[in-house]
Amino acid sequence: MDYLPIFLNLHDQRCLVVGGGDVATRKAAMLMRAGAYVHVVAPDIDASLLERLASANGSFRIGTYSADDLDGAVLAVAATDDEAVNRQVSADCRARHLPVNVVDSPALCSFVFPSIVDRSPLIVAVSSAGKSPVLARLLRARLETTIPAAYGRLAAICGEFRGLAKKTLPDTNARRAFWERELQGAFAELVYAGREDEARTHLEKSFAATHPARVGEVYLVGAGPGDPDLLTFRALRLMQQADVVVHDRLVSQPILDLCRRDADFIYVGKARSHHTVPQEDINQLLVRLAGEGKRVCRLKGGDPFIFGRGGEEIEELAAAGIPFQVVPGITAASGCAAYAGIPLTHRDYAQSVRFVTGHLKEGSPELPWQELIHEHQTLVLYMGLTGLEHISRQLIAHGMAADMPVALVSQGTTPQQKVVVGTLADIAGKVAGSGIHAPTLTIVGRVVELRDKLNWFMPD
Ligand code: SAH
């Protein structure tokens, strides 16, 4: 290890920054964020740096650096483009045993600034020991995307309970187990959802219970239309903490591969017209698993609240008093439209868009045809191939132009995506010979014509 990572408390400590340009401004800003009292010395100081100093109780001296500027400082940064000055600052600091950083000159530094992810009070610091600051920054960016924004709040609230935790759980192992459970369960979820008061109450109750009951919960998670890149950060986090994953046919394998490896996977897929697991049984399954104290991730294709029967599942959970949360996902209409180059609305062609399911409840009447006929409305039909011919015929019979453009997107957003474009009159025929696979989504409307213009980036 070339450097020891430590976290310095600089509150109200004097730090010297030598230099008055862009880089000096960034370093000074970082020191001020840490509560330091910053003093800047340079012959020229940027106006923006002067403003910052004024607003953070800092000070400055216009002039050339001299060793006296180090008086009272606990740390110094040299950020000038004058090599001789940089060397002098470094040498003076070493003589006084002060930590020193010289920008872009690792050899002159006794410490380096890491790339940081700031979720104060939680801070992650990444350093390449000056070997590749860009690599460190890229790693930082990856961490940034995987650490929930509310981690700082979470750490702060845990801090409030440290005293109580020590008192009620004097045994270190018991305390650790307690926090591990809460930080991956209901307490953390309440904080992420912004329900901090409830989170505190939950913790108080957990401390009060001598043998805290393991509370299970259900995450109803929208997994998007297929491409794993379209998952939300929250979806991914919950997929990685769940004990059990209950999924169906629409959830693609690459997405399942992102779930916690040692989770139990339960497939409750439904193939059209033979329902492997009836909905009522799925509802009961979720209630039972959560009742056993498990964290259950119910993974659904697209968005759980769009033709996903998510409403029915949480109704049952609510009735059983099981905590749950719903994570929205990118619905097939948005995903397929974007990946096929078809905007669902457009100022010139469609001022509204209507999502319709072709999977009707058995015994349901036909679709409300008349309502679907609007020149300036895009129709998105969530349905398989079987109804396509019937629907096209009905739309024409109820007054839609036979030359209305139609696009059928199969396995949208996945590497197997295929798009067949036609009109109401000929789409069924075109699709018949195309060897297309489920799932398929049908987009009807003038916006489909834009595909030729907007699809340049997606060859298929
Ligand atoms: N909750 C889901 C929809 C479930 S209904 C969502 O929000 O997307 C199931 C229908 O969604 C399928 O019959 C099909 O019409 C459509 N669908 C889902 N994923 C799809 C995909 N990747 N490509 C095309 N259609 C899809």
Check pocket membership of 250 for ligand 1, CB cut-off 6 A. yes
347 and 234 part of one domain: no
Whether 18 is covered by a domain: the verdict is yes
| Gap from CA of 300 to ligand 1 centroid (Å) | 10
Ligand 1 atom nearest residue 382's Cα: 15
Cβ-contact 14, 74 below 8 angstroms: yes
What average pLDDT does the chain have?
Answer: 91
194 and 233 part of one domain: no
Cβ-contact 48, 25 below 8 angstroms: yes
Q: What is the pLDDT of residues 66-93, one digit of tens each?
A: 999 999 999 999 999 999 999 999 999 9
Check pocket membership of 413 for ligand 1, CB cut-off 6 A. yes
Q: What is the pLDDT of residues 207-253, one digit of tens each?
A: 888 655 666 899 999 999 999 999 999 999 999 989 999 998 899 99
The rounded distance, in Å, linking the Cα atoms of 127 and 129 is: 5
Cβ-contact 191, 163 below 8 angstroms: no
Minimum mean pLDDT range among 35-44, 360-369, 430-439: 360-369
Short-list 178, 115, 189, CA closest to 151: 189
pLDDT score at 384: 83
Long-range contact pairs involving 54-61 (C-beta distance under 8 Å, separation at least 24) = 56/32, 58/28, 58/32, 60/20
Whether 105 is covered by a domain: the verdict is yes
Whether 128 is covered by a domain: the verdict is no
Minimum mean pLDDT range among 159-168, 220-229, 252-261, 451-460: 451-460
316 and 292 part of one domain: yes
343 and 303 part of one domain: no
Last residue of a domain, one of 309, 330, 351: 330
pLDDT score at 101: 97
Check pocket membership of 223 for ligand 1, CB cut-off 6 A. no
348 and 325 part of one domain: no
Check pocket membership of 420 for ligand 1, CB cut-off 6 A. no
Whether 135 is covered by a domain: the verdict is no
Starting at the edge strand found earlier in the chain, the sheet holding 295-300 runs: 264-267, 244-247, 295-300, 217-222, 324-327
Q: What is the pLDDT of residues 406-417, one digit of tens each?
A: 999 999 999 999
Which letter does DSSP use for residue 114 in this model?
P
| Nearest protein CA to atom 11 of ligand 1, as residue | 382
Check pocket membership of 252 for ligand 1, CB cut-off 6 A. no
Whether 352 is covered by a domain: the verdict is yes
Whether 379 is covered by a domain: the verdict is yes
pLDDT score at 274: 58
Minimum mean pLDDT range among 13-17, 100-104, 268-272, 382-386: 268-272
Strand locations in 98-140 (E): 100-102, 115-119, 122-126
Mean per-residue pLDDT, 295-317:
93
Cβ-contact 235, 242 below 8 angstroms: no
Tell me the pLDDT band of 457, cut-offs 50, 70 and 90.
low
The total number of structural domains that make up the chain: 4
pTM recorded for the entire structure = 0.75
Q: What is the pLDDT of residues 354-386, one digit of tens each?
A: 999 976 666 566 888 999 999 899 999 998 888
For CA atoms 357, 358, 362, 363, the dihedral sign is: positive
243 and 177 part of one domain: no
pLDDT score at 385: 87
Neighbours of 334 (CB within 10 A): 21
Q: Could you tell me the CA-to-CA distances from 57 to 14, 26, 39, 368 in Å, in that order?
A: 11, 16, 9, 68
Ligand 1 atom nearest residue 225's Cα: 22
CATH code for the domain in which residue 88 is found: 3.40.50.720
Which among 252, 275, 307, 420 is the best mutation to test ligand 1's pocket, defined by most ligand atoms within 8 Å of the CB?
A: 307
Ligand 1 atom nearest residue 384's Cα: 13
Domain that holds residue 157: 150-208
The rounded distance, in Å, linking the Cα atoms of 371 and 355 is: 12
Rank 71-85, 122-136, 440-454 by mean pLDDT and report only the highest.
71-85
Short-list 179, 190, 122, CA closest to 151: 122
Parallel/antiparallel/unpaired status of strands 418-423 and 405-410: antiparallel
Check pocket membership of 303 for ligand 1, CB cut-off 6 A. yes
Q: Residue 275 pLDDT more than 80?
A: no
274 and 260 part of one domain: yes
322 and 338 part of one domain: no
Q: Which residues are catalytic?
A: 248, 270
Which among 250, 305, 353, 410 is the best mutation to test ligand 1's pocket, defined by most ligand atoms within 8 Å of the CB?
A: 250
Whether 138 is covered by a domain: the verdict is no
339 and 326 part of one domain: no
| Gap from CA of 263 to ligand 1 centroid (Å) | 25
Q: Residue 458 pLDDT more than 60?
A: no
pLDDT score at 73: 98
Percent of the chain with pLDDT over 90: 76
Check pocket membership of 419 for ligand 1, CB cut-off 6 A. no
263 and 299 part of one domain: yes
Tell me the pLDDT band of 145, cut-offs 50, 70 and 90.
confident
Q: Read out DSSP for 188-220?
A: HHHHHTT-HHHHHHHHHHHHH-SS-----EEEE
275 and 311 part of one domain: yes
301 and 364 part of one domain: no
CATH code for the domain in which residue 365 is found: 3.30.950.10
Whether 129 is covered by a domain: the verdict is no
Cβ-contact 286, 316 below 8 angstroms: yes
Tell me the pLDDT band of 174, cut-offs 50, 70 and 90.
confident
